[in-house]
Chains A and B, each alone.
Chain A
């Protein structure tokens, strides 16, 4: 027996909060998959810590989405009872962990963006979003530092670590453009001073990424073709598998607590 998915009234602000919450939940879940499997105990803890930071961000954003929507949905129903097509996260964050280099490249691309994004969002006219941004920025700043240090060590490390890091960069690069896209729903929030136009952050993001990659002796891909679709629920095949694990308990035993 399974429980049906919820319906969500995706007004611009609800959709906005869900998109950021989904980014954090899915990336946090990916990091949690490393728990007990990381190359060393120290990194096992570091990955789990980052995952928990992201889970905390997701919870606050889901709770806010639920409040704005004003219906029966809660942070739990948003996380556990939406189907894959209802998820609004970036394609980047749902990509599989792969090897350690791939996980770190994914983290680096996202954290470099998230840190800029949250820092700018601290001046949002929406007091709740500004407060969430202020808390999240401190966390993403550390995620960026940690993943940057690893980029340099992997890229400028051994021949094998360099090769693996470069493959991950080349594979994931096409998913980075989606971070900077804005649709009509979000454009209204940007104009109202509630949301940030991520396109304005792209030069800074490129500067940060280029700087770290250069220090890491890694090449920035020349290819500018970008994949997108996550923000409207068109996901890669990986998200469904992730959700089946994340949601299996609540789908099988609705409302179960322990």
Chain B
């Protein structure tokens, strides 16, 4: 149970073969040092990570779900933005 005085933190883990830190969840901790330790204890118990970031949840500015029509729907009709109208040569491999 979280106490009101304990801030929320977002946790990002870079996995063994991952290129970027990925958001994995959140936790409560009194300060950044303890947040990092808690992230280690909660989110890397099965060898998931090689690097951890913790960020105060309050530092995140989020889009408003109520505005998703305005924000995201205009992109749905721009199918020409997907690179699907040409063939990628085999030799290029993973892009």
Taking a contact as CB atoms closer than 8 A, the residue among A42, A142, A145 that contacts B27 in the complex is A42
Complexed CA–CA distance, A153 and B31 (Å): 10
Please determine whether B3 and A149 come into contact, CB atoms closer than 8 angstroms: no
Given the known inter-chain contacts A40-B1, A40-B6, A40-B28, please indicate yes or no for A49 contacting B34, CB distance below 8 A: no
Taking a contact as CB atoms closer than 8 A, the residue among B33, B38, B45 that contacts A42 in the complex is B38
A-B Cβ contacts below 8 A, count: 35
Categorize the interface residue count of chain B: 10 to 19
**B29 adjacent to chain A (CB < 8 Å):** yes
Please determine whether A149 and B37 come into contact, CB atoms closer than 8 angstroms: yes
Given the known inter-chain contacts A40-B1, A40-B28, please indicate yes or no for A45 contacting B38, CB distance below 8 A: yes
Categorize the interface residue count of chain A: 10 to 19
**A46 adjacent to chain B (CB < 8 Å):** yes
Residues of A within 8 A of B34 (CB): 42, 149, 153
Please determine whether B37 and A145 come into contact, CB atoms closer than 8 angstroms: yes
Shortest A154–chain B CB gap in Å is 11
Q: Which residue in chain A gives the minimum CB-CB distance to B34?
A: A149
Please determine whether B45 and A40 come into contact, CB atoms closer than 8 angstroms: no
Question: Within B37-79, which residues are at the interface with A (CB < 8 Å)?
Answer: 37-38, 40-42, 45
Q: Which residue in chain A gives the minimum CB-CB distance to B1?
A: A40
Shortest A143–chain B CB gap in Å is 11
**B2 adjacent to chain A (CB < 8 Å):** yes
Complexed CA–CA distance, A41 and B1 (Å): 7
**A146 adjacent to chain B (CB < 8 Å):** yes
Please determine whether A42 and B41 come into contact, CB atoms closer than 8 angstroms: yes
Shortest A224–chain B CB gap in Å is 33
**A37-49, CB under 8 A of B: which get 1 and which 0?**
0001111011001
**B30 adjacent to chain A (CB < 8 Å):** yes
Complexed CA–CA distance, A46 and B39 (Å): 10
Shortest B47–chain A CB gap in Å is 13
Shortest B34–chain A CB gap in Å is 6
Question: Within A63-79, which residues are at the interface with B (CB < 8 Å)?
Answer: none
Complexed CA–CA distance, A58 and B23 (Å): 35
B positions within 8 Å CB-CB of A = 1-3, 6, 27-31, 33-34, 37-38, 40-42, 45
A positions within 8 Å CB-CB of B = 40-43, 45-46, 49, 142, 145-146, 149, 153
